[in-house]
């Protein structure tokens, strides 16, 4: 009986310690730098970078492209769908995309009627140099 109690106690302790070491899957999958490409519109294909910070359904950050850089006006991530609004003095953009297998794929449009598609892939993390 004593051996059984010790064995059971060892199993429970191992299970509890194991739970403390379990890392959750990336709970904020959008946080980071995304290398993106847009297609369509008057400028043709264009590379751009999104720097995103995710807190639950709320997303903040900035965009940088050959046309310039600016903060994202508003963004949300719900049901695996990202929606970004970028308002500038010249034109307002809306980007939507699904996150599938670590990649963003979707559409963009402007209040001026231009439309196209876009995709993005998270940039590899770089280790700080010494």
In a domain, 12, yes or no: no
In a domain, 129, yes or no: no
In a domain, 23, yes or no: no
CA distance 118 to 57: 21
* CATH code (residue 59): 2.40.128.120
Range of the domain at 108: 32-122
SS3 of residue 39 by DSSP:
strand
Write the pLDDT tens digit of every residue in 3-22: 544 444 443 444 444 444 44
For the chain, the straight-line distance linking the first and the last C-alpha, in angstroms and rounded, comes to 58
Across 57-85, average pLDDT: 96
Task: Find all residues with CB under 8 Å of 104, minimum gap 6, and list them.
Answer: 34, 36, 82, 97, 98, 118, 119, 120, 121
Write the pLDDT tens digit of every residue in 72-118: 999 999 999 999 999 999 899 999 999 999 999 999 999 999 999 99
Statement: the pTM of the whole predicted model exceeds 0.85: no
The total domain count for the chain is 1
In a domain, 76, yes or no: yes
In a domain, 83, yes or no: yes
In a domain, 117, yes or no: yes
């Amino acid at each position: 009986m004593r051996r059984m109690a010790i064995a059971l106690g060892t199993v429970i302790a191992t299970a509890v310690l194991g739970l403390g070491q379990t890392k959750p899957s990336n709970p904020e999958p959008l946080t980071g730098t995304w290398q993106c490409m847009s297609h369509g519109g008057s400028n043709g294909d264009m590379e751009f970078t999104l720097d995103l910070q995710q807190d639950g359904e709320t997303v903040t950050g900035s965009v940088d492209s050959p046309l310039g850089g600016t903060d994202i006006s508003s963004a949300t991530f719900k049901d695996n769908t990202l929606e970004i609004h970028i308002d500038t003095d010249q034109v307002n953009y809306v980007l939507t995309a699904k996150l599938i297998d670590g990649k963003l794929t979707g559409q963009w449009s402007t209040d001026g009627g231009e439309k196209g598609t876009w995709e993005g892939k998270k940039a590899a993390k770089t280790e700080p140099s010494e």
